[in-house]
Structure 1
């Protein structure tokens, strides 16, 4: 028996060694297959054994993709809360909504699924519910069981969590966010203990042992819809001032949980704060996102620690005074918003951590904005006869991604759970907002892509799968159109450019299948056809490419014919159009031209219908909060259009906004149907066709000549009255002062945006045109130089190194309006104290006289300040003569 055990161990070790030593597979053996496109705000998905994919969309729809029909059906639409209403009554878009879905481990026996969402209504909770579902038809609504409520605040964003996964013991893990508005904390830790500022104090949740926010919960669902507490959670049931559901605490926004099927260890991505600079003296470390591992229950530190247990100061937001650093061995929660224990478990450091800058420890994580998203751990034994199993090279490795940076990295972990190394998976593959990722039963890697914008129906949002094929490979397909919307007649050039096949000698055939509003329209057997659309409709052009051996792959592009998108432009009349000059104003105007609606200039488009907003985005922050405010401004302008339609109609003869007349007040209607996902369509049809009986015997007359889009606009406005306020738009022409808000860092950008949503028509819905003008901080990084001579760069191109006399850097179209001084952040290395030479700045070309110059002798200070005459936009050349220098960036200012 002992010999058998020994032999078994040697075989296992040999297999592991062979897998680890195996050569990395050729990237060309992997093929991306697009399954579904233009999916709206997808959040989380599950794969059924027949290849169907069940996924949740944030605005409430639970959908099913069928690989046989290649169609998507709605399983159920939940009434969800997607708005925050601040304590002052301002309404903005929230991260909340339908967040997660997971199948029961015994789904094919009991047909149970679990949903996590923010239910519409006045109850501020995020809810875990259980339903039965047959795997193909509608959700069985009558089977609903409420499992668990997470009490939240709905005054300020952000951080919802929402990931779910089961372990081998059928315990359900649920991630929850800290439900804290941290943008007011300068990118550091939100510890605001002032009265009324609980929305900005994460200590109420993440570090509160008696609260379910900022946690990963672990429960054992029971057959009757209740749950029990598994052994091994952080606090034993009955422990005073604790919740027994807590498995990990000290989380900010944990994303996309996975369980290692071999070890049972839990892994996830953790989204960090937004600061990009350390302030160890007063506040603490800059932001770090994390990839985490839990071998057992524990405290992961937030909001007192981040990254490798880097501590924050106990900062007093009232006095602006810094207290001591928190102790990772003995963290203490003394916040007045804490309802749990004061003395907390010791902190567990992150498994992998990375900031906005490139990490020296984990360089493959790159630099820039970040948002860590966990992914699956690959084990071949998890799959039964999978046709396209990934190679054993990936055995036991963790696939991770980042929502902003769009890469997939593969992490090797040793038998003890220690980090070994990291490598890039498919370096040529750039994902667009990857938000969930897992292996399917066929062995393929599935990825759900949210797209690039926040709170939007992003056209690039897709469900894809990445297949491995050791034999004949499918073609890699690209499908584009030179125009995807316009008035009829509309001529569109379709293109297959970028399509390729990695198998030598394969001849490809191309077929475009065109459908109109879902019905067959035309088929074209060409690679790059031109097509004229003469009748309005929504067309889908599906390109299928087939190789010599019959392997095919497809991709589609959607074309809307019958409504020209609006053209929106922002013009800077006076001031700097590239950089902001602190405390100074720009004069601007907005132009809008729409082929069907008219223009601002001819007054057929009302200025009240144009959304104009300006927000300051601190360096390092993501766009979530700003996108939320922009959406509120958009809504306000669309309501203005609806109010104009109401004023021109007979509506006011029967209704007022706040008082009952013959019919109910519009506000009453808004409150009655608040959170009802089907109300907009029903009420719009009722306005057009007429009706009675809901509010009494009075009959509402029909309005058959009212366009469907106008009826829906009126309904949207009426439903908005359930909320107190929306953000107001800036005027379409005026001035805006670029004053950095108090407490914000000065390295960010002002985001000016103008948008107009047209009226659409009965064939094509409304379309939105927008332009965004970014006024950046007055800093010119050397990495943006378009041409150089005798200049070398460091590895990440953040430092320019002068190699010889007369070296120069060229920058295109630099706007110097409003500035009178340049400041070069420079160093001469070891020769810094004896450096001598001069720097000349030329505008337009290297000929003529320099616009400014600076000479230095007997030493070089870190910052070289060069004055110049105020001027406009031109190409700039910086010429270096003398001691070799290292230049990091050039700053502009309007003061000496």
Structure 2
């Protein structure tokens, strides 16, 4: 399959990386250095006119699909299952379970399928699957006939072409098929080579006894069908002939005439333009994150073949960047391979030595940002070649893709979850590209994309995580709405929980319509009945129950949309509060105790059982110096690393607790629990890639990430091996604090109190009685008094510089939120300022709020010279957002200050 992009990634191709692709980068209009902007970008359809519908859900490793002329959608799963989606019945049916050799270790199986161009007459389907035959494993392309009831005629199987594979490799399988306008069948095959011992560069290890480590035996071998795109013409009897124009004329010694394109690593998805018969494919590239002594870093490619050719692997990558000849035994570096006259001198080459000149990729991109194609972003790579669209005004389907996308080539990336439309000029050369549905697509690892006979897009989504039965693996359809759009209904209410009689004020005024000028009408259903047509009605629920309130918004043309709100009547939420006579934001380095009390009130529970009040104190060490994000995150982690991982595609190969293609994060944490060098070692490994710890699979390089970012990611991962014990404490008391004593002040104490009430018997609509129990919690987070600049919650005209703040000018400010100043009498700043003295005012709750502290500081003479200066602060009651505003009215007033930290000093500390 497509060998990992984080090499962990499968062998299904090239999966994974750790950096996220932003909507901003996806929206950027991409042009290569020679590209022109599209002429009609002003007429680009609004994204909200595209609708994505799920046709079939809960799939397991879906691979390839084909749409019949009558609208039936056939598709396959790797494990062997073959399905049809019936658009009339709107149902998916299993047609056959192929005895394909598809086990986790080998990652082969039922890899692809296609529909005969004359399907309406001959009812033929073609399948690409792995078979075991007398101790030999082979890839087979076979033809079957489909019966009138969509069932597969098993007896009709006709093997068209077969070729052996080295099953112990289990990587780089190809498996895609497509047809040209002349009825020729194209078949993609991978290089079937172990990529893991070449440092992410060219696998050309030709030492004795190591054939599976040498792609010269396959992709670089003109006499082998692996690492190729084949082109054959299937005859009526199931035999095949060779079309004119393939790479090697039939009868040429040391070659196979079926080869149309050679020099492929893993051409996992291919397509053919039905108008030009030009071939397109995504090439999943090698894994090196940086250029090395063996040659260039890894690049994925989108390729175009107007005619037969050699596309260079394993000697070249991208735009013909050459690798060095390399002796794996002596580690000696030789000369660069010549793209004009490549030679295959491997002892495992069974074909001719002198190869056709190498062809450049059309589009190429590495893990980090591409200089030529910057909008493709950064991160893991897994390029897939999609279809070319030709707008046909005679197609009656009103939801077909618009004429705007006429002649656009669609390409997509499994790892980065995007689809791009590529424009070609009149000579069919690359011109430009733009993202397709960048903000609303919500693509879940697209693995095959086709444009049906109806002009709509059909997409198989593999799902979030490689190698498991994903809940979000599915068949979807994308339709275009060229006319009236349905409004968007948004129902809201302030009070959704309470006791009967419960009077609730509902609001529907956030509902809207994308078509300006549409007149909207509203219908609210309460207790199953239409009750109000007001925009913002009020309704009283007289009986206990759980009610679904439905708002329907309709425009004047009848298009409508609904939103549902759940109202729970029969109970009220408990009140839980933590109080302390100490400061509720900070703990001092010398502090050894915390006095606290938890109060719980509930209108229905007259007596609160202390055993049901859960109070827990945890200490989280080594918290990242970053803004605190709110109580919902504080009880689990403060880690910046968690945020970085959440914004990446790590979960394609890793889960927190369950094993995927890579180890779980918890397993990693346990393995390195006692390794004092783990943070530095693993942070570096994320950047440069590597493997061999868990098995032969490797993790891809991530050169786009900084050392600081990967360090924070590793800190979070390692923290999962030390999950805090549920340290329950009494509802009130004076607890000893000792975890921070003698340690660097980087941790947090988290005191959590929660209570779940006894519930209330209610009668939900149309259902039997149920218990409605409600929970509430409160959290108290104590941080060290020394707050580093990078921990600021909000910055205005200020820049982060590691743990410091800089680029501070007149009018700049930063904010620390929810600060309790009880017992705080002084602020000490550690700062530097080259040559401009100024003033810092601390305002409460806004940049112009009450001034509670002022510091007039003097320059330190150099940005690298830091000093400490203190000033008093007024201890106002309660928690407040503190705005630190920089004031220098006379010019020059730029680049005033660099802040390392502020210490909130207590009165007791001053004595």
Distance (whole Å) between structure 1 residues aligned to residue 180 and residue 684 of structure 2? 44
Deviations 1:245-264 (A, max 9, x none): 11001111113222222222
Residue aligning to 2:277: 264
Residue aligning to 2:295: 284
Report if aligned partners of 2:465, 2:653 keep a CA contact under 8 Å in 1. Answer: no
Distance (whole Å) between structure 2 residues aligned to residue 152 and residue 64 of structure 1? 29
TM-score w.r.t. the length of structure 2 is 0.57
Deviations 1:149-189 (A, max 9, x none): 13211213321111111111110001111122213322222
Residue aligning to 2:383: 372
Residue aligning to 2:125: 113
Q: What aligned pairs does 1:827-842 form with structure 2 within 5 A after superposition?
A: none
Unaligned runs of 5+ in 2: 1-36, 492-507, 536-549, 565-617, 626-635, 637-644, 695-711, 719-788, 818-832, 837-852, 867-883, 887-892, 899-911
Mean Cα displacement is larger for which, 104-113 or 121-130?
121-130
Distance (whole Å) between structure 2 residues aligned to residue 166 and residue 546 of structure 1? 45
Deviations 1:96-126 (A, max 9, x none): 2211111111111111110001225743222
Q: Are 2:287 and 1:274 equivalent residues in the alignment?
A: yes
SS at match of 2:386: coil
Report if aligned partners of 2:416, 2:649 keep a CA contact under 8 Å in 1. Answer: no
Q: Are 2:254 and 1:234 equivalent residues in the alignment?
A: no
Deviations 1:475-512 (A, max 9, x none): 67999xxxxxxxxxxxxxxxx99997634547599999
Residue aligning to 2:182: 169
Report if aligned partners of 2:669, 2:717 keep a CA contact under 8 Å in 1. Answer: no
Report if aligned partners of 1:81, 1:120 keep a CA contact under 8 Å in 2. Answer: yes
20 and 548 in structure 1: CA distance in 2 versus 1, 3 angstrom threshold: closer
Shift, 1:265, TM fit: 0.9
38 and 621 in structure 1: CA distance in 2 versus 1, 3 angstrom threshold: closer
Q: Are 2:235 and 1:215 equivalent residues in the alignment?
A: no
Report if aligned partners of 2:47, 2:440 keep a CA contact under 8 Å in 1. Answer: no
Between Structure 1 and Structure 2, how many residues are aligned? 621
Distance (whole Å) between structure 2 residues aligned to residue 277 and residue 296 of structure 1? 32
Q: What aligned pairs does 1:309-458 form with structure 2 within 5 A after superposition?
A: 309-381=320-392, 384-430=395-441, 431-458=443-470
Residue aligning to 2:579: none
Distance (whole Å) between structure 2 residues aligned to residue 511 and residue 19 of structure 1? 46
331 and 788 in structure 1: CA distance in 2 versus 1, 3 angstrom threshold: farther
2:265 pairs with 231, 234, 252, which one?
252
Distance (whole Å) between structure 1 residues aligned to residue 674 and residue 395 of structure 2? 65
25 and 626 in structure 1: CA distance in 2 versus 1, 3 angstrom threshold: closer
Shift, 1:398, TM fit: 1.1
Report if aligned partners of 1:19, 1:393 keep a CA contact under 8 Å in 2. Answer: no
TM-score w.r.t. the length of structure 1 is 0.58
Distance (whole Å) between structure 2 residues aligned to residue 511 and residue 42 of structure 1? 41
Shift, 1:45, TM fit: 0.6
Deviations 1:795-839 (A, max 9, x none): xx9x99846599999999xxxxxxxxxxxxxxxxxxxxxx9899x
Report if aligned partners of 1:208, 1:340 keep a CA contact under 8 Å in 2. Answer: yes
72 and 548 in structure 1: CA distance in 2 versus 1, 3 angstrom threshold: farther
Shift, 1:49, TM fit: 2.2
Distance (whole Å) between structure 2 residues aligned to residue 36 and residue 398 of structure 1? 26
Distance (whole Å) between structure 2 residues aligned to residue 39 and residue 256 of structure 1? 19
Residue aligning to 1:188: 201
Unaligned runs of 5+ in 1: 1-16, 84-91, 480-495, 513-521, 528-541, 557-571, 580-590, 592-616, 636-727, 754-771, 813-834, 839-845, 859-863, 865-876, 888-896
Q: Are 2:25 and 1:25 equivalent residues in the alignment?
A: no
2:67 pairs with 47, 70, 87, which one?
47
Deviations 1:630-681 (A, max 9, x none): 458999xxxxxxxxxxxxxxxxxxxxxxxxxxxxxxxxxxxxxxxxxxxxxx
SS at match of 2:216: helix
SS at match of 2:142: strand
Deviations 1:315-369 (A, max 9, x none): 2222222221111111111222222222111111000111112223222211111
Distance (whole Å) between structure 1 residues aligned to residue 106 and residue 457 of structure 2? 30
Higher RCO, 1 vs 2 (CA within 8 Å, ≥6 residues apart): 2
Deviations 1:757-793 (A, max 9, x none): xxxxxxxxxxxxxxx9955799xxx999965454459
Shift, 1:445, TM fit: 1.6
Distance (whole Å) between structure 1 residues aligned to residue 230 and residue 374 of structure 2? 32
Report if aligned partners of 2:181, 2:274 keep a CA contact under 8 Å in 1. Answer: yes
Residue aligning to 1:70: 90
Distance (whole Å) between structure 2 residues aligned to residue 459 and residue 752 of structure 1? 29
Report if aligned partners of 2:298, 2:367 keep a CA contact under 8 Å in 1. Answer: yes
Shift, 1:21, TM fit: 8.0
Distance (whole Å) between structure 2 residues aligned to residue 52 and residue 544 of structure 1? 33
Mean Cα displacement is larger for which, 74-83 or 298-307?
74-83
Distance (whole Å) between structure 1 residues aligned to residue 563 and residue 148 of structure 2? 26
Shift, 1:734, TM fit: 7.2
Residue aligning to 1:38: 58
Shift, 1:474, TM fit: 4.9
465 and 236 in structure 1: CA distance in 2 versus 1, 3 angstrom threshold: same
Deviations 1:846-876 (A, max 9, x none): 999xxxx997779xxxxx9xxxxxxxxxxxx
Q: What aligned pairs does 1:354-753 form with structure 2 within 5 A after superposition?
A: 354-381=365-392, 384-430=395-441, 431-474=443-486, 502-503=514-515, 505=518, 549=557, 630=659, 735=674, 738=678, 747=688
SS at match of 1:209: coil
Shift, 1:552, TM fit: 7.1
Shift, 1:740, TM fit: 5.6
Mean Cα displacement is larger for which, 230-239 or 258-267?
258-267
Shift, 1:82, TM fit: 2.4
149 and 511 in structure 1: CA distance in 2 versus 1, 3 angstrom threshold: farther
Report if aligned partners of 1:369, 1:622 keep a CA contact under 8 Å in 2. Answer: no
Report if aligned partners of 1:103, 1:113 keep a CA contact under 8 Å in 2. Answer: yes
Distance (whole Å) between structure 2 residues aligned to residue 145 and residue 151 of structure 1? 18
Shift, 1:400, TM fit: 1.5
Deviations 1:581-608 (A, max 9, x none): xxxxxxxxxx9xxxxxxxxxxxxxxxxx
Residue aligning to 1:140: 153
Distance (whole Å) between structure 2 residues aligned to residue 847 and residue 139 of structure 1? 82
SS at match of 2:197: helix
Shift, 1:25, TM fit: 2.2
Question: Superposition RMSD on alpha carbons, in Å?
Answer: 5.8
351 and 776 in structure 1: CA distance in 2 versus 1, 3 angstrom threshold: farther
Distance (whole Å) between structure 2 residues aligned to residue 268 and residue 100 of structure 1? 14
Distance (whole Å) between structure 1 residues aligned to residue 337 and residue 228 of structure 2? 20
Distance (whole Å) between structure 2 residues aligned to residue 358 and residue 18 of structure 1? 23
Distance (whole Å) between structure 2 residues aligned to residue 773 and residue 367 of structure 1? 17
549 and 150 in structure 1: CA distance in 2 versus 1, 3 angstrom threshold: farther
Mean Cα displacement is larger for which, 455-464 or 500-509?
500-509
Report if aligned partners of 2:808, 2:894 keep a CA contact under 8 Å in 1. Answer: no
